[in-house]
Amino acid sequence: MQTVDDTTEQLHTDAGPPGGGSTGVAAEPRKKPSSGRAHTADFVRVLLFAGVVVAHSVNAINTTPDVIRSANLVGTICHLTRYGFVAVTLFVLVLSTRGKPMSPVAFWRRRFGMVVGPYLVWTLLYSLTDHVIIADNPWPTPARFFSDLGQDIVTGEGKYQLYFLLISMQIYLAFPLVSWILDRTAHRPWRVLGVAAVIQLAAFVFYQYLPRPAGPTWTLVYDNLWKTLPMYALFIAIGALAAVHHEAMNEWLRTHAIAVISACGIGTAFSVGAYLLATSPGNVPLQANTPWNPVNLPWFLAGLTLLWMLALVWNARRESGRAMSSKAVSYASFRAFGVFAVHPLILDILGRTGFIGALFGWFPHSAAIRTTLLTAVVLALSLVVVDILLRTPVSKWLTARPRVPVRRPAKPAVATVVQSVPDPQESAAASPAPGH
């Protein structure tokens, strides 16, 4: 998303070294980052967006007692997406701004311009389509409709995925401060990570174990605090520091790959085991699969690490010409925000038209097939819709991308230049010998 997903071109051209600047950005330029870093971030971003669609498809079709435990385990695993998005957002922001002095006001004007419009448009659209498409959801009075719309805009509850755009806006708002802190602490990464981990773990414990406050005002605040930055502090630090130390980090991951993968396996087993111990077939307590359950933190760290290592392997194959999916990743990355925005609408339509119900008739004994087929259909239809939206005048408001021409412009005629062709033997003789 333009929220999470700054363009590859920015990654290719805008990075620089640590240092001072108006937004905490370095004043002295460094060499441009290699395209590999842009492709690596794109690859991780695409997988995270796919995880969002998987999570919501699982929730839409697996609600019966016989599958609720396994479905919620998948949902718990897919909570990684929100924390991964935050880390990738910071990674991209740091790379695309360091070495490029910019005042906070200029930064905010540019970044908020990318996200505020789509956020408001999609909040309004879902406020309308929820009453048009979802059964048993009658229209409220005009006063109630606009009151609910205003609350949805403030809280990010226009649809279940839109809260992340609020988190993105908070990241943009705080980024000049984050950059300023980063310039002064990037040489002490473990201390920064330690402080961030304490903040995030405290937020997890607060939400997971402490009682809800009494009173409507405190309840309203409490119900929305999980959308604030302390809940993501560790992943903000991870993304920012990974951008500053990307070369050393990538090399360390390659050198210690076996040990890292083993540690990730242990962390994953711990979180999955804790979930299984807290649940039983047909019985999944609410607290067992919350996104802020502290026992899931090892998985969130392990999952993000494994995704990044997979992206490094893929990028190495891409650079050697062996990866066949480079164009597919670029295609998906460009449409990622649009799919993020539109896929709940696709799910609502599929539910209203009876497709989701029909899957139970076609595959009554296989939740895995039902879920896989639904996810594939949602992804395919979302991509079709996004491709249509990209070719409309309102593309920027709906997909956070500039409009794509319906037809490619004709290539200008190239004038023919007649020149003498040198003798190949003369050219070879004139060329320097290898090694000279």
Q: Judge whether 32 lies within some domain.
A: yes
> What would the pLDDT profile of 68-79 be if each residue is shown by its tens digit?
899 999 999 999
- Does residue 422 fall inside a structural domain? no
Number of domains in the chain: 1
Quick one: tokens of 98? 């360091």
Six-digit token string for 274: 């804790």
For residue 374, pLDDT over 60 is answered with yes
SS3 134: coil
Using one digit for the tens of pLDDT, what is the confidence trace for 340-350? 999 999 999 99
Q: Is 277 exposed, middle or buried (0-12, 13-18, 19+ CB in 10 A)?
A: exposed
| Residue 129 reports pLDDT greater than 90 | yes
Residue 112 CB: number of other CB atoms within 10 A?
Answer: 15
Q: What DSSP designation does 407 have? A: S
- pLDDT digit string, tens, across residues 248-266: 999 999 999 999 999 999 9
Q: Answer yes or no: are the C-beta atoms of 314 and 323 closer than 8 Å.
A: yes
Domain annotation covers residue 419: no
Alpha carbons 186 and 182: distance in angstroms, whole number:
5
C-alpha 18 chain-centroid distance? 25
Residue 97 within a domain: yes
What is the spatial distance between Cα 67 and Cα 365, in angstroms, rounded to a whole number?
10
| 51 in any annotated domain | yes
Is residue 413's pLDDT more than 90?
no
Q: Which two tokens stand for residue 422?
A: 């040198």
Given a cut of 60, whether residue 415 has pLDDT beyond it is no
pLDDT of residue 37: 55
Q: What is d(CA 240, CA 186) in angstroms, rounded to the nearest whole number?
A: 9
Is residue 426 included in any domain, yes or no?
Answer: no
pLDDT given for residue 304 in this prediction: 97
Q: Is residue 80 part of a domain?
A: yes
Tell me the average pLDDT across 363-370: 88
Tokens representing 142 are 């005009």
Q: Please tell me what DSSP assigns to residue 283.
A: B
Does residue 436 lie within any of the structural domains? no
Residues in the chain: 436
Determine the structural domain holding residue 348 and report its residue range.
8-411
DSSP per residue over 3-31, as a string?
TT---HHHHHH----S---TTS--SS--P
* Residue 39, pLDDT score: 81
CA–CA dist 352, 370 (Å, integer): 17
Q: d(Cα 397, Cα 403) in Å, to the nearest integer? A: 10
